[in-house]
Structures are given as C-alpha cells and as structure tokens.
Amino acid sequence: MSITLKEESILNEWAMVLDNASGNSQTVFEEIQNRLRNSEIPGDCSWGIEEVKSAGMFSKVKRDFLIISLEQFKDYHMYVSIRDYGTHLDCCRFLTVEPNFLKKWASTKLTGSADALSAPNNILIHQDLRAWTTVVHHAVVDSVEALMKNLGKDTTHLQRGSKGFLEIW
C-alpha cells in the first residue's frame, strides 16, 4: 500500500537536479542513512524507504521515498526522493505536517487551522523541531554534495537553503 503525499501538508522543501549523475540514487540514499545514524539524533529517529503517491483520485504516479520521522514529533515527517531523471539525478526533500483525522478535526474546530495543534507549543519544543529538521536537511544536502565531489562536479552550485516554514540554511 502506498503512502499519499498531499501538497497542502508540505511546510518546507528543497530540490536540486544534478546533471549527468543518474545511476547514483542508491549511493545517496545509503549516505543519507549513514549520516542520520552517525548524527545520533535524540528521541527515537527512524526512517525507511516507502512507496509514495501524490494525492488525487486518478493519480497513478508512485515513487520510492526515504521517510524520516522522530517520535517526539509524530505529525512531522521528512520525505526524501533521489531518482534518475533521464541522465540526471533529481533530488528533493519535503518537510510535512500530517496530523491524524481526529487531531485535524479538533484543531480546525478549535483554532480554524487543521495544523495548529501540531505546532510546537513553546520555544524549547520549537528549538527541538528546528534542530531535527536542520540535522536531517544537512544529512540530505551533505550526501548530495559528497556525490558531487565523487563525480568531480563543482559544489559551489549546490543549493543549500530551503523554502517554506522553518527555513533551513
């Protein structure tokens, strides 16, 4: 069964296409997982490769994503895709907030926003969420950079920043 990635759940994203780098997705996935393991992220950080589809009744597109979660933030997930795109390597990462149906319903009724009850409720929790998203983001970007170096590519063109809520630099 596929997991559905809904565009409205995406809070933050990063993407880059590497020219003439196809055939390296498995290497980058392994490097990301090694960096996550070596980061010793507190709070039961887990990850695995899952089949993901986009939302929509007639959507047939499915892709494998590395999905990264942290027990402390059950509603937040990082989706990482590294895939061949012709002769290129398409790399992307999405931070999502995905509360369950009951939490989304209660949040909408109480606050008018489906995600409000998932948001960090104090500055220290916010700091923990920012730290986790930053460490995961760097694991992805640094893994792509390692591939670029192995392929003899100019790393000054590497996109390091992201767009959206909790911008990560």
pTM over 0.95? The answer is no
Residue 167, domain member (yes or no): no
- Gap between the Cα atoms of 17 and 109, Å rounded: 41
Range of the domain at 106: 3-162
Residue 75, domain member (yes or no): yes
Residue 90, domain member (yes or no): yes
Residue 125, domain member (yes or no): yes
Chain-centre distance of CA 112, in angstroms?
A: 26
Instruction: Give how many domains the chain has, as a whole number.
Output: 1
32: left (phi over 0), alpha (psi -120 to 50) or beta: alpha
Residue 169, domain member (yes or no): no
Residue 69, domain member (yes or no): yes
**DSSP symbols for 76-118:** EEEEEEEEEETTEEEEEEEEEE---HHHHHHHHHHHS-TTGGG
Residue 114, domain member (yes or no): yes
Residue 119, domain member (yes or no): yes
Each residue's pLDDT tens digit, 31-84: 999 999 999 999 899 999 999 988 776 777 889 999 999 999 999 999 999 999
